[in-house]
Amino acid sequence: MDPTQLIFTATTWIVPILTAITLHEAAHAYSAWRLGDDTAFRLGRVTFNPIRHVDPFGTIIVPGLLLLTGAPFLFGWAKPVPVAVGRLGNPRRDMALVAFAGPLMNVGLAIVSALLLRAVPLFPEAAAPWIVQTLYQSILLNLVLAIFNMLPLPPLDGSRILASLLPAGLARHYARLDRFGFLILIGIIFLLPMLGRQVGLDLNLFRWLVGVPLAWLTPFFLTLAGGG
């Protein structure tokens, strides 16, 4: 990839990455505050200013390196929002609502991006290719994040929602998986596909668990954008 194309590609990812990852956490913070826990509020996290949620390594360095090396996927994270479950009005129910707020924000951002694509003719023609690319990538990234975070795997949001639905005893046992959450994700995203290639099997669970729902949802958003 020549330098000009590299700069174009990188800049079309900057806004989607920053908004998708950081506003996901902002939604957690805002919903926790509204439901009775002011922990994130006291830390200045109840804001939609992306800078307050940026993790220098996870939000900037990791996605940047993946872009520069031409990796086939993007991966990153923002600073997690602390939630004191005991301060919520109804801890089991409200924790599920706090968890669901993040993926819901990503779906909302995907909808906004799709609708903004309809306004591209209002912008200067020279800027249109950059705007179109940025908005399409915003739709894709936000949908991937929403689907991925709804998987019932610790420490993803889906695991918090599932824990709130399980009987109390079973939920406590399930919550103990949190300490192994990062290792579980690394295994599913990276190690299983590598093992599958060695033995001649398709063990890319990420593609099945995220790619299939993504393929099902994408046509709706393309239609919303005026391209379907």
Catalytic residue status for 25: yes
- Quote the CA–CA distance of 114 and 227 in Å, as a whole number: 9
Annotated catalytic residue: which of 25, 37, 94, 157?
A: 25
CA-closest candidate to residue 74, choices 142, 130, 176 = 142
Own/partner long-range contacts of 129-137 (Cβ < 8 Å, ≥24 apart): 130/8, 130/11, 130/12, 133/8, 133/12, 134/11, 134/12, 134/13, 134/15, 134/16, 135/225, 136/225, 137/12, 137/13, 137/16
- Per the CB < 8 A criterion, the answer to whether 157 and 107 are in contact is no
Read off the tokens for 135.
């908005």
In the numeric block, which tokens belong to residue 35? 């439901």
Residue showing tokens 């998986």: 177
Radius of gyration of the chain, Cα coordinates, nearest whole angstrom:
19
Q: Cβ-count burial of 162 within 10 angstroms (0-12 exposed, 13-18 middle, 19+ buried)?
A: buried
Residues 6+ apart with CB under 8 A from 64: 10
Give the active site residues.
25
